[in-house]
């Protein structure tokens, strides 16, 4: 089959050159080996429930590429690693946040991890009164297979 497609491409090139020499236009098909790459970006990570209606998360935006029409996929990039504290957060502060995402196994997986310190306290007119500081961390591995 590769020999046949090479012959067809060569014939198309010769016909196109002859046609163009006479002032006409030619449409040449792309090579049969051209592949379309499809990319999809999604957010992946892990989450902890740190209180009633309160969640701490580590996230990253992961781009997975795939050859169209096949099952071959790989992780192309992992960006925007971040932490967030959401939900009912009155009297809670997040500090010393660290987040990272690293692609592993030749693009087959990505390791996402993060840590922070959550400080619980009571807000007052004179400033916050902290009574507990809790280090927190989580990590996950996302794999395309």
The pLDDT, as a whole number, for residue 11 is 44
Q: What is the pLDDT of residues 79-98, one digit of tens each?
A: 999 999 999 888 788 999 99
Q: What is the dihedral of CA 69, 74, 78, 84, to 10 degrees?
A: 80
What's the pLDDT at 80? 97
Residues 6 or more apart whose CB falls under 8 angstroms from that of 37 comprise 65, 66, 67, 68
Q: For the full predicted model, state whether its pTM sits above 0.95.
A: no
- Name the strand (E) or helix (H) holding 98: strand 92-104
């Amino acid at each position: 089959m590769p020999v046949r497609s090479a012959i067809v491409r060569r014939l198309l090139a010769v016909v196109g050159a002859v046609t163009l020499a006479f002032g006409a236009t030619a449409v040449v098909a792309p090579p049969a080996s051209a592949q379309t790459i499809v990319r999809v970006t999604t957010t992946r990570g892990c989450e902890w429930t740190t209180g009633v209606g309160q969640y701490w998360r580590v996230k990253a935006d992961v781009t997975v590429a795939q050859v169209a029409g096949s099952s071959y996929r790989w992780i192309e990039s992992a960006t925007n690693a971040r932490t967030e504290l959401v939900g009912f957060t009155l009297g809670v502060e997040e500090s010393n946040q660290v987040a990272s995402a690293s692609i592993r196994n030749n693009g087959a997986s990505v390791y996402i991890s993060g840590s922070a310190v959550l400080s619980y306290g009571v807000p007052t007119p004179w400033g916050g009164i902290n009574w507990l500081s809790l280090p927190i961390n989580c990590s996950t591995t996302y794999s395309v297979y």
